[in-house]
Amino acid sequence: MARRTTQHQTRVGPTSPRARRAGALDVDALLADRTTGIIVCCGSGGVGKTTTSAALALRAAEQGRKVVVLTIDPARRLAQSMGIEELDNTPRPVQGVAGDGRLDAMMLDMKRTFDEVVESQASPEKAQQILANPFYIALSSSFAGTQEYMAMEKLGQIHRDAQKAGTYDLIVVDTPPSRSALDFLDAPERLSSFLDGRFVRLLMAPARGPAKLMTAGFSLITNSLTKILGAQFLKDLQMFVSALDTVFGGFRQRAQRTYSLLQAEGTAFLVVAAPEPDALREAAYFVERLSEDGMPLAGLIVNRASPEPESALPAAEALAGVGRLRREGAGPIAAGLLRLHADQVQLVEREQSLRERFATAHPQVPTAVVPALAGDVHDLEGLRRIGELLAAAART
């Protein structure tokens, strides 16, 4: 894509005016590019990632695109800001979208998505056995990594359905609020490793061949487990593992296709951060990991940047004025105002220094800086305002 090539080929110092222009993330160009079909927002917790995802989706819809935003973050802010009572595994239309576009929103229901995989891959009788299996219930509800597996599955489902029916031309994905946000990139490999593990293969042996294939060692293991855990426990476990082999092999293949889809030109990753040391360190991790995996990174969004004071008075001069007033024992209100001004200037300078340090380490990453708002975003107007600020970052 031309917009990425142009930005990534710019190699100039991060503090020069040209660097700021060349390194600006053009959000409107990204949303207007009809070859971009998936935008994935990732970042650490508490940086405004969910709000950013919703604002991008709304702005794209109001520019005429057919958009669905999928949140994997369990927070309910997305539903509230879009005027939807509750989000679930089914896309819900967002009312009040201006223009000819369309916006739907949904939240990943991990258990329901897992059930859908079972129901689509097994006969009704077999599916019912799996859904009632205690190991399946535990895995589909709370097993570590299941959320990421199902995120990959749901994204693939939406994309396949959109291609067949033409329902959407843009999918915006809001990922979990931690480094585990990128764990769904590992889902195919981790699932393959689990299914191909030695213990799982041993448990699958009775289902894959005659009883004579069971070794004496395996018989010893199963006898020991039966004594400790009971025959029903082992039977449930073997039935579940057999189901994994027969049913979820298809999921593994689909997850691998979705992984390839994420590497394709039609996908754009956006890393969201706050102007804080920890958040930008996490952002650096995301950028490096995406680069290692060959994922198409569109840029960095720095949320909630502190606004510059209206006065151009340097912090040092403001602090000197505070000292003079205190020595003279006069103007406590003026001294307090000068102190607040100095604190604000120093905060802005620290944030700028952090962003410049990030830009020096990652000069190929275009950046959009969004100033902090006075209040929380809780409706479509607030999301529109965020979208406007994102777009304006390319013009500053």
Overall pTM surpassing 0.85 (yes/no): no
The answer on pLDDT for 253 being more than 90 is no
Q: What is the pLDDT of residues 112-171, one digit of tens each?
A: 888 888 888 888 988 888 898 887 887 777 665 677 778 888 898 899 999 999 999 999
E strand or H helix at 68, and its extent?
strand 66-71
pLDDT of residue 212: 45
Q: Is 268 helix (H, G, I), strand (E, B) or coil?
A: strand
**179 vs 286 pLDDT, higher one:** 286
**Which of 77-81, 158-162, 175-179 is modeled with the greatest confidence?**
158-162
Alpha-carbon distance of 151 to 107, in angstroms, equals 10
High-pLDDT (> 90) share of the chain, %: 38
Q: Measuring CA to CA, which residue among 179, 178, 108, 120 is closest to residue 149?
A: 108
Average pLDDT over residues 302-327: 86
Instruction: Determine how many CB atoms are found less than 10 A away from the CB of residue 97.
Output: 18
Average pLDDT over residues 262-269: 94
- Contact at 8 Å (CB) between 111 and 146? no
Q: What is the pLDDT of residues 35-53, one digit of tens each?
A: 999 999 998 888 989 899 9
**274 vs 308 pLDDT, higher one:** 274
Q: Both ends of the chain: CA-CA distance in Å?
A: 23
The answer on pLDDT for 175 being more than 50 is yes
Q: What is the pLDDT of residues 339-366, one digit of tens each?
A: 888 888 899 999 999 999 999 999 999 9
- Contact at 8 Å (CB) between 147 and 110? yes
Alpha-carbon distance of 174 to 155, in angstroms, equals 11
- Among 66-70, 87-91, 200-204, the least confident range: 200-204
pLDDT of residue 234: 62
**209 vs 119 pLDDT, higher one:** 119
Instruction: Determine how many CB atoms are found less than 10 A away from the CB of residue 90.
Output: 10
**Residue pointed to by tokens 């009883």:** 211
Indicate the pLDDT class of residue 75, thresholds 50, 70 and 90. Answer: low
Strand order across the 267-273 sheet: 92-93, 102-107, 66-71, 170-174, 38-42, 267-273, 297-305, 367-371
**239 vs 228 pLDDT, higher one:** 239
The answer on pLDDT for 16 being more than 60 is no
The answer on pLDDT for 65 being more than 60 is yes
Indicate the pLDDT class of residue 86, thresholds 50, 70 and 90. Answer: confident
